Structure 1
Amino acid sequence: MMAPIFEVCSASAGVIALLGNMPVRLYPFGQYDGEIQYPYAIWQNIGGDPPQYLDRTPDHDNYSLQVDVYAKTASEVLAVTKALRDAIEPHAYITRWGGQTRDTETKTYRYSFDVDWIVKR
């Protein structure tokens, strides 16, 4: 069970312009083990639940996702974050703008945010 974040974002011209299209550099499970090409983004489930009904099975699932964007420059990480936001918001809710950090070793930038997604079954 997963929210359709990849399907939604990979259909966005703005996201593809920044994260490519073969493949779209938006990776699940909060990690990527291949050779890193910047910019890229990762996402992972951090919570969620199905509703509980007494008279029927759930008709949707609730997902909470964390998205982390990585880039070589601050302007690039902000541009990717904006493109992802614009692709996601017609379908789900951004619930947290998180940390903005720079890795001391790689000197790359990171922007984190959370998304709550309601997915009909």
Structure 2
Amino acid sequence: MFPPIYEVCAADAGVQAALGTPVRLYPFGEAPHGVALPYTVWQTLGGSPDNFLKQRPDIDQFTLQVDVYASTATAARAAARSLRDAIEPVAYITRWNGEDRDDETKNYRVSFDVDWWVPR
């Protein structure tokens, strides 16, 4: 019922190189305080089952937001690239949400959205 973003990304050598092992990829609100940089968080923005009139849905669609945080813009972009390369073979990146720098932590952020179709 949920997209396998961790499983897909954790199995990718490029993501492991960028985000360590175990991969620092966390659901919303679960990144540990003081986690090493770079790291990534993701959340479900919405979605829906692919409904039919005469049977139960056989697939669910999810829209995710993925946010990469790092101490430099270069590291944030490199980690985002590795995630992109791991995700694109199995899901669709639908939006680049931009880049910014947090005023308080001074961490850099790269954000993008993913549409993921998950068979039941």
> In the alignment, what sits opposite 1:45?
44
**TM norm structure 2:** 0.96
1:8-36 deviations in whole A, cap 9, x for unaligned? 00000000011111x21000125413332
**TM norm structure 1:** 0.95
Q: Distance in 1 between matches of 2:34 and 2:23?
A: 14
Give the number of equivalent residue pairs. Answer: 120
**What letter corresponds to residue 7 of structure 2 in structure 1?**
E
Q: Distance in 2 between matches of 1:110 and 1:30?
A: 16
Q: Distance in 1 between matches of 2:32 and 2:87?
A: 25
> In the alignment, what sits opposite 1:120?
119
Unmatched segments (≥5 aa) in structure 2: none
Unmatched segments (≥5 aa) in structure 1: none
Q: Distance in 1 between matches of 2:104 and 2:57?
A: 46
**What letter corresponds to residue 89 of structure 2 in structure 1?**
P
8 Å CA contact 1:30, 1:43 repeated in 2 = no
Superposition CA RMSD, Å: 1.0
Identity %, equivalent residues: 59
> In the alignment, what sits opposite 2:34?
35
> In the alignment, what sits opposite 2:58?
59
Q: Distance in 1 between matches of 2:29 and 2:6?
A: 13
Partner SS state of residue 53, structure 2: coil
**What letter corresponds to residue 84 of structure 1 in structure 2?**
L
